[in-house]
Amino acid sequence: MSCIFCDIVNKVEKAEILFEDESTISFLDIRPLNFGHSLVIPKNHYENFFDVGEKDLNAVISSTQFLANAIKKSLAPDGINIISNNGSSAGQTIYHFHFHIIPRFKNDHFTFRPQYKDYSNGLMQQFADKIRGGIKSFG
Ligand code: 5GP
Ligand code: ZN
């Protein structure tokens, strides 16, 4: 199975690498939403957030915080979005788990304006019950 991010880990594919440790690597996104938009990935291949092993997940989260602080210091953004797309409906295009770190600036014209839904007639409790059921099924 070919994976462009595994190729970056293995230095087969070029990337503007920012930071690397034993189990994670981070590099600039080739198609940035803002300049400095970065990706942090585990060196091991996992398809997405659901599959990533706990040790690697903790390492990716630590590297993400480390790099977000470095971006804050070096690029002085007004804010930073940290997101992970999981599944094609959620916008995932590369099936090797990753976090996006997106520096944000006032008036950067990157808009995400969802149409919020309304919980009515006990629907909020129904959804909470469903999810609590899901949590119980792990126990
Ligand atoms: P996703 O859509 O899966 O959440 O994010 C994948 C990201 O990887 C996209 O933002 C895309 O621009 C970036 N990307 C895809 N191929 C490459 C590549 O070969 N090199 C780098 N640096 N980024 C890539
Ligand atoms: Zn991979």
Q: In this predicted model, what pLDDT tens digit does every residue of 107-116 receive, in sequence order? A: 998 887 889 9
Count the residues in the chain.
139
Token output for 114: 């969802």
Cα(43) to ligand 2 centroid in Å equals 8
Nearest Cα residue to 111 out of 37, 28, 33, 30: 33
Catalytic annotation, residues: 98
Measured in degrees and rounded to the nearest 5, phi and psi for residue 26 equal -135, 150
CA distance 30 to 138: 38
Question: Thinking of the domain 4-138, which architecture would CATH place it in?
Answer: 2-Layer Sandwich (3.30)
| Largest Cα span, the chain | 55
Cα(121) to ligand 2 centroid in Å equals 44
CA distance 19 to 37: 14
Mean predicted confidence (pLDDT) in 126-136: 96
Cα(6) to ligand 2 centroid in Å equals 4
Report the pLDDT value the prediction gives residue 108, as an integer from 0 to 100.
92
Let me know the angle formed at the C-alpha of 129 by 123 and 135, rounded to the nearest 5 degrees.
145
Nearest CA to ligand 1 atom 17: 30
Mean predicted confidence (pLDDT) in 105-129: 92
Please report the atom of ligand 1 found closest to the CA of residue 93. Answer: 3
Q: What percent of the chain has pLDDT over 70?
A: 100
Residue 106 — pLDDT band, cuts 50, 70, 90? Answer: very high
Q: In this predicted model, what pLDDT tens digit does every residue of 37-64 receive, in sequence order? A: 999 999 999 999 999 999 999 999 999 9
Domain boundaries, the chain: 4-138
Per-residue pLDDT for 13 more than 80? yes
Report the pLDDT value the prediction gives residue 15, as an integer from 0 to 100.
98
Nearest CA to ligand 1 atom 12: 31
Beta-carbon count within 10 A of 69 CB: 11
